[in-house]
Amino acid sequence: MKSLATLWKPKGRKGIELFRARLHRYRYAKHMHECFTIGLNDGGQGRFWCRGTEHEARPGGLNLINPNEVHTGQSEDRGWFYRDIYIEVRTWRKYLQMLGFRDGLAEFTAPVAEGRRTWQSFHAVFTAMDREASQLTCDTLFLEALATLAPSLSAPLPEAHPATAREPRAVANARELLEAHRDEDLTLRQLAQSVDLHPHYLVRAFKKAYGLPPHGYQRHLRLLEGKRRLANGQPIAQVAHDLGFFDQSHFHRHFKQTFGVSPGAYRKVNSVQEPPPPTA
């Protein structure tokens, strides 16, 4: 069976590259990258040499490579199916600073990490970036995923910022900003700076207050607007595109999960009432 591999830069994600491979009887020579690498093992069986030791790449596990670390890679008899997220050092530091690391300085302490929750978190990150989800969605998912990697980082995850008397107003201001700029592709850093809260803390406080993280709330606002536009007779494909959904099927899936009917059915009979935002 032929080996296949694809490397690309996701639209709107500066400092990030994505890689997908299906390898059969393939071996990489010793090499290195100038960026941080987070690899998701999807299936089959792989093996790689790093830091003087051979490591197995098992399905559901992560491969973690620091910049300029020499390593190899090879597929076993069953093949090796995996995905990589390549993060430039400047972008890596930006995200660590958003997590609370003052200088954004932390590296991987081991080349392998196990744990279904961590794998699922980075699977969500990869999918969001691949499907060109909003910056707020990608930022939030990436921060939440990085937090699950805390045991694998060379510096401990900073303690949560303590609550302050101004927190409820700041979180409410964030919600008002999302409502006022529903159609804009805000980043998490922009939203946090606007209300003077730390990005990672804002995500947790917002979810505690409203039952959804900021990107989930933003998506619900867009679904409500899509519902109004469909009632006015706008084409489904146009509504999905104008409101920032990856494609019509992406819009269809979230619309039906939220309102119980498909966009086409709603547009045809216009009989659905607006429910409150879903719980997390």
Enumerate the domain spans of the chain: 4-152, 167-210, 220-269
- Residue 138 pLDDT > 90: yes
Closest CA to 86 of 24, 32, 151: 32
Q: Which pLDDT belongs to residue 271?
A: 42
Burial 98-115 (b: 16+ CB within 10 A, else e): bbbbeebebebeebbbee
- SS3 letters for 109-178? CCCEECCHHHHHHHHHHHHHHHCCCCHHHHHHHHHHHHHHCHHHECCCCCCCCCCCCCHHHHHHHHHHHH
Separation between Cα atoms, residue 159 and residue 226, nearest integer Å: 39
**48: how many CB neighbours lie within 10 A of its CB?**
20
Dmax (CA) for the chain in angstroms is 65
Binned at pLDDT 50, 70 and 90, residue 279 comes out as low
Closest CA to 50 of 92, 110, 5, 118: 110
- Residue 2 pLDDT > 90: no
- Residue 164 pLDDT > 60: no
Q: Which pLDDT belongs to residue 48?
A: 95
pLDDT above 70 covers a percentage of the chain that reads: 91
| DSSP run (H or E) holding 6 | strand 4-8
Binned at pLDDT 50, 70 and 90, residue 4 comes out as confident
Q: 3-state DSSP call for residue 110?
A: coil
- Residue 272 pLDDT > 50: no
Binned at pLDDT 50, 70 and 90, residue 93 comes out as very high
Binned at pLDDT 50, 70 and 90, residue 228 comes out as confident
Higher local confidence (pLDDT), 59 or 183: 59
CB 243 within 8 A of CB 226: yes
- Residue 163 pLDDT > 60: no
What is the bridge-based pairing of β-strands 36-50 and 16-23? unpaired
CB 73 within 8 A of CB 30: no
Separation between Cα atoms, residue 195 and residue 121, nearest integer Å: 27
pLDDT above 90 covers a percentage of the chain that reads: 44
For residue 243 the two structure tokens come to 């409101």
List, in order, residues 6 or more apart from 267 with CB less than 8 Å away: 230, 231, 233, 236
- Residue 261 pLDDT > 50: yes
Q: Region 53-77: what's the mean pLDDT?
A: 92
For residue 164 the two structure tokens come to 């302050």
Q: Which pLDDT belongs to residue 141?
A: 95
For residue 261 the two structure tokens come to 């009917």
Span 220-269 CATH architecture: Orthogonal Bundle (1.10)
Separation between Cα atoms, residue 134 and residue 180, nearest integer Å: 16
- Residue 273 pLDDT > 50: no
Q: Which pLDDT belongs to residue 12?
A: 83
Task: Determine the residue type at 280.
Answer: A
Q: Region 162-180: what's the mean pLDDT?
A: 79
Tell me which CATH homologous superfamily contains domain 4-152: Regulatory protein AraC (2.60.120.280)
Q: Which pLDDT belongs to residue 46?
A: 95
- Residue 78 pLDDT > 90: no
**173: how many CB neighbours lie within 10 A of its CB?**
16
